[in-house]
């Protein structure tokens, strides 16, 4: 079985220090959390960025500052910028970080009702546009899917040439408006992707660690981090992203999976540094 790639989603765009005081906003805080995750075993840092007051931004200059600061401390780590941004941002605003030519970036494959009046909009034309830009720039997309229909969209657009194979999916499970985080639905998504595709599972909240176990056993990969869940166990706030990664590493050892370092992750995902 392949070694386990662990992705750390260190801050997200929505979670706040009110939810967990360790949520990073500033550049030194971002570096601290990226280092803690990497030292614990994460080979990929999934990156949203904030201004110092916690406001989410897709500003290319802010991304560059934070990526440069992280790379100065951990040069080998894979940085995966989010092109999701925050609700209400335009396509070009969301795409700014890919101008920095990262190895990977996320590509959301459908529209989602986040709750209330918040709609995370990703039209078919948006997905095509993002896919084309990533192909032009040589960036591997991580296909963010919140439901089965989004896998179908990705497969359809692959056939039309907007997404290249082999594909790498991220099953984001347990988000309001998307598929649940139940094992039944993990099996459903897992059985819906091509045989040559790889996948990561991101379980939201209480689903984080049960779905991590499912992916570890199945041979998939795992995403954890403050973007998805701020608790180490029920009622116990995690002190860092590193603590969440450490828990996955312990679980992986229980089931005999070795942890991939960044170079091994690149080989598994077909990345070129």
Question: For residue range 129-161, what is the model confidence (pLDDT) as tens digits?
Answer: 999 999 999 999 999 999 999 999 999 999 999
- Cβ atoms 146, 179 nearer than 8 A: yes
Confidence of residue 273 (pLDDT cuts 50, 70, 90): low
At 116-128, the pLDDT tens digits run 888 999 999 999 9
**Exposed (0-12), middle (13-18) or buried (19+): which is 71, by Cβ within 10 Å?**
middle
Which is nearest to 24 in space by CA: 44, 5, 6, 8?
A: 8
Which is nearest to 208 in space by CA: 231, 237, 239?
A: 231
**pTM of the complete model:** 0.97
Whole-number percent of the chain with pLDDT over 90: 95
CATH class belonging to 6-269: alpha beta
Q: In angstroms, rounded to a whole number, what is the distance separating the alpha carbons of residues 107 and 3? A: 24
Residues 259-270, mean pLDDT to the nearest whole number: 98
């Amino acid at each position: 079985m392949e070694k386990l790639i662990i992705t750390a989603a260190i801050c997200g765009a929505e979670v706040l220090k009110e939810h967990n005081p360790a949520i990073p906003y500033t550049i030194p805080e971002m570096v601290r959390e990226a280092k803690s995750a990497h030292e614990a075993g994460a080979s990929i840092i999934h990156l949203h960025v904030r201004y110092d007051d916690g406001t989410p931004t897709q500003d290319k200059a802010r991304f560059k500052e934070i990526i440069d600061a992280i790379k100065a401390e951990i040069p080998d780590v894979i940085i995966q910028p989010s092109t999701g941004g925050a609700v209400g941002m335009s396509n070009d605003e969301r795409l700014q970080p890919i101008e920095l030519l990262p190895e990977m970036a996320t590509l959301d494959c459908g529209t989602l009702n986040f709750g209330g009046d918040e709609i995370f909009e990703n039209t078919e034309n948006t997905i095509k546009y993002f896919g084309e830009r990533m192909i032009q720039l040589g960036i591997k997309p991580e296909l963010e899917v919140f439901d089965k229909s989004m896998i179908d969209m990705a497969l359809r657009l692959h056939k039309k040439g907007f997404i290249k194979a082999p594909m790498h999916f991220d099953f984001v499970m347990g988000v309001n408006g998307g598929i649940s985080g139940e094992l039944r639905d993990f099996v459903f998504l897992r059985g819906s992707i091509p045989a040559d595709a790889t996948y990561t599972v991101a379980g939201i909240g209480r689903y984080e660690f049960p779905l991590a176990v499912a992916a570890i056993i199945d041979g998939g990969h795992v995403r954890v981090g403050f973007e998805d869940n701020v608790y180490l166990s029920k009622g116990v706030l995690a002190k860092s992203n590193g603590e969440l990664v450490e828990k996955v590493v312990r679980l992986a050892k229980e089931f005999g999976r070795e942890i991939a370092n960044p170079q091994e992750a690149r080989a598994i995902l077909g990345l070129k540094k």
